[in-house]
Structure 1
Amino acid sequence: MLRLLIRFLGLLLLAGGFAALIVDGTRSLAGDGLHVTPLSEGAADLFPAQMKAFRIALEEKAPQIWASIVFALLLAPLSLTLTGLGGLLIALSRKRRRAIDYPLR
């Protein structure tokens, strides 16, 4: 049952990554230039209050982590991030192959 939920979440993330890619492509064609939506912009659109609270809490407790690691991760393209996470979840939800025991000759 857990494998089904993980695979479903992976498919949702893949669909979201594809939709973000379509939106970026449409904006790029309409604007006569490359437009890539960063993860921070997508997260701020979906969860504005939580992102602000997350940033404030992290800047208070560990400002060097916010300045280097988290800020760099939030600059990653939204479509690439969602597609990568979705693919990872789908790969993790696959059944493992059983080892085939060949008889010794």
Structure 2
Amino acid sequence: MIRFLFRFVGLWVLAGAFVALVLDGVRSIASAEIVTTPLGVTWLAVGPDSLTRFQAFVTRTLSATVWDHLAVPVLGAPLFLVLGVAGALLLLIGRRPAA
């Protein structure tokens, strides 16, 4: 049952990555240059308070170095790439064991 849940959520996350890729592609065609939407910009548009709470949690719990060297580059990565990697990892976790 849990493998099914990982695969189900992984497919939905991959679908979100595909939608983000299509939106970036449409924006790129319209502007005649490559345009990507970073994860941080999308997160800030959806829930700015949660992003600031996440930053405070990471700096308080782990350290400011972790925020600077791990979280900031991930937040600057294209949304379709982050969602694609997360979806692929969920699908790998949910795969059936080799017989």
Q: TM-score, normalised by structure 2?
A: 0.86
Contact 2:74 2:82 in 1 (8 A): no
Q: 1:76-95 counterparts in 2 under 5 A?
A: 76-95=77-96
What percent identity do the matched residue pairs reach? 35
Contact 2:39 2:78 in 1 (8 A): yes
Q: What secondary structure is seen at the aligned counterpart in 1 of 2:77?
A: coil
Task: Count the aligned residue pairs.
Answer: 98
Task: Provide the residue aligned with 1:68 in structure 2.
Answer: 69
Ranges of 4+ aligned residues in structure 1 off by more than 4 Å: none
Partner deviation per Cα, 1:31-57 (whole Å, 9 max, x = no partner): 121111111112222222100222244
Backbone CA RMSD of aligned residues: 1.6
- Unaligned runs of 5+ residues in structure 2 are none
Larger Rg: 1
Structure with more helix by fraction: 2
Q: TM-score, normalised by structure 1?
A: 0.82
